[in-house]
Structures are given as C-alpha cells and as structure tokens.
Amino acid sequence: MPLDAEGGFWRLAPDWVSRGPYAPPTPDVLKAALTGLQGLQRRLEPMTSPARHAPQLEPVPHPGCGTCSAASTARARAHMAGNAADVTQATDTIRQHPHEREDEC
C-alpha cells in the first residue's frame, strides 16, 4: 500500500501527531523555516565536504626488520592510548628507516 493512500502515511505517525487541518504557511513561517535549514546546512557542510588534506596511509613495517617491528608495536600502543605524537613518531621511524640491505635492519 503506498504511503499516500488513505491513512497510509498517518499509520506511521504516533497518535499525538496532529492530523490537521493545517493552515497554508505564511511568508514569515516559510522565511523562518528557510533560515533554520540554511543554518543547518552551514553546520553540516564541514562534515560533508571532501577533506582538504586526506590523511596519509601509514607505512607497513618491513618484514623481518627489528626496528620496524618495534616501531609498529609502539605505534599500535600509541593508537590504543590515543597518543597522536607517539603515533607520528613511530610512523616516521618506519617510513624513514632504510631497507636497502637486509643487514641494515
């Protein structure tokens, strides 16, 4: 049954919702509604706009590297503790640590 069929929409509304009759909206009521919707739009825009600077993906530790493994563990603990500074430090260690030769790890 479509919602606009007799009583269809109102079956979804609680009993305390007025079923009418409704007066046509006045210009003042329409202006107030528009102002409220525009304010809501301004508050929601930062949440729906694309990020200006997308976060970088975290580097993956090099397999078998002790330095990377320790930094990865420290980074996971920092994430769990909500410590952004330590997350950044551990991420930088993994990103900047050389892996040209296996014996440098």
Quick: pLDDT tens for 41-75. 888 876 665 656 556 788 899 998 999 999 999 99
b/e map of 79-101 (b: 16 or more CB within 10 Å)? eeeeeeeebeebbebbeebeeee
Q: How far apart are CA 66 and CA 78, in angstroms?
A: 18
Residue 13 has pLDDT above 90, yes or no: no
Residue 48 pLDDT: 60
Taking the alpha carbons of 24, 22, 7, 36 in that order, is the dihedral positive or negative? positive
CB 102 within 8 A of CB 67: no
What pTM value is reported for the model?
0.45
The pLDDT tens digits of the residues spanning 77-94 come to: 999 998 889 999 999 999
